[in-house]
Chains A and B, each alone.
Chain A
């Protein structure tokens, strides 16, 4: 039946993702370091701005997304480094697992980590900056998911490469920076419009950009993953 190979790949993806998430929950290093980092960034931003000059709502989208972007890089880097230390990937590669499923599984796991960090950062943000995200929350969650998928997809394949290089911690940000720009610009634009309660028509162009970016890069990175992990 035509559906079976797709179903198998899908199941494999979930299994791989679950394995990674479980491994991370056991060690918790990536999650914790990213959370601490996010909190630190928020504190610095808070002290850096003059509350009489700049309203919190004006600054909010930028602060939020810089925090998300930096924390995401910390999380992705740690996740792959931990795995390399455990040589878990090598075992998986010996099995006849389609590389696309391997990539998608890692992508889902990374999304889970980064998503968890982002979800934990939101209340911290509300606390430090006194900006209520509640009315715009569904929209903010939606755009966060869209943008995160974009840069985590590219981040997953780049961290697979970076981990095999000499300066792994430096290599990921250097490679990833240009690729974070379209998702970040889109995310900041949509978030600021959501907080200002603008109509959907003003965000539509950006949302389409984000969606297109996700489709193109998730597909491309999934297909290119074999070039990174196979000889």
Chain B
């Protein structure tokens, strides 16, 4: 292994640990694929496409987890001013983009055969779309601000405002749907799941959480390296 991952300092160790943990997550993911594709029964009404559920729902969970932690880290940063919180928030936001992208792709791919349309403005999809936009805006802002302290403060403000926006988006979609009777649509998840489905979903959620932790750890380590490098380059060691 060359480069950052080869160094023995804490940043290098963090990166290595993150990469290894996520690799472990991929082993788990392979297991989930086997479970989802072979072990779980085929749903009568939705057919094979229903099995997208085992990826879409855990991805949603990871995206929401990523987002909530960005919000939490933002609040804590403005209170405690610890740069590590800002570094974590940035890592979590980037990983959140990846999981939101999975939701935004698997969602329509699932919706098309089941509901006949690529997109509906239902609560879940709409919320995911806005989560995605918020993440992108957050990362774009970070890229556009040079000073690390200013970047941390600005990001924290956006993180907190974003966190508070989510309930309002949810409320808007809810109001929209209750006052606009929608055509009756097949609900993607059955009212009570058979045990194979439930177990597979659970395993998948755990695997996606492991992937989240692995990715964020790696990203955090890489950010730490970048920050340390930047600190070395400044003559007065700011």
Contacts and interface: CB of A to CB of B under 8 A. Distances in A.
Is B truly associated with A?
Answer: yes
Given A178-B130, A209-B171, A228 B157 contact: yes
A185 B172 CA distance: 7
A228 B153 contact: yes
B118 interface: no
Nearest to A184: B172
Interface string A123-159: 0000000000000000000000000000000100110
Q: Which size bracket describes the interface of A in this complex?
A: 20 to 34
B179 interface: yes
B157 A157 contact: yes
B188 interface: no
B169 to A, nearest CB: 6
Interface stretch (B6-14, B139-147, B230-238): B139-147
Interface of B: 78, 130, 133-134, 136-137, 140-141, 144-145, 149-150, 153-154, 156-158, 160-162, 164-165, 168-169, 171-172, 175-176, 179
A98 interface: no
A220 to B, nearest CB: 6
Interface in A215-231: 216-217, 220-221, 224, 227-228, 231
A171 B144 contact: yes
Nearest to B176: A185
Contacts of A90: none
A175 interface: yes
A206 B175 contact: yes
B130 A181 contact: yes
B1 to A, nearest CB: 35
Interface of A: 154, 157-158, 161, 164-167, 171, 174-175, 177-179, 181-182, 185-186, 189, 202, 205-206, 209, 212-213, 216-217, 220-221, 224, 227-228, 231
A171 B158 CA distance: 12
Given A164-B150, A205-B179, 13 more contacts: A161-B141, A161-B158, A166-B144, A174-B137, A175-B141, A175-B158, A181-B169, A182-B168, A206-B175, A209-B168, A217-B161, A227-B154, A227-B157
A228 B164 contact: no
Contacts of A182: 165, 168-169, 171-172
A205 B133 CA distance: 26
Contacts of B164: 216-217, 220
A171 B141 contact: yes
20 contacts: A157-B161, A161-B141, A161-B157, A161-B158, A165-B144, A171-B140, A178-B162, A178-B165, A181-B169, A182-B168, A182-B169, A182-B171, A189-B175, A189-B179, A202-B179, A212-B168, A227-B78, A227-B157, A228-B157, A231-B149
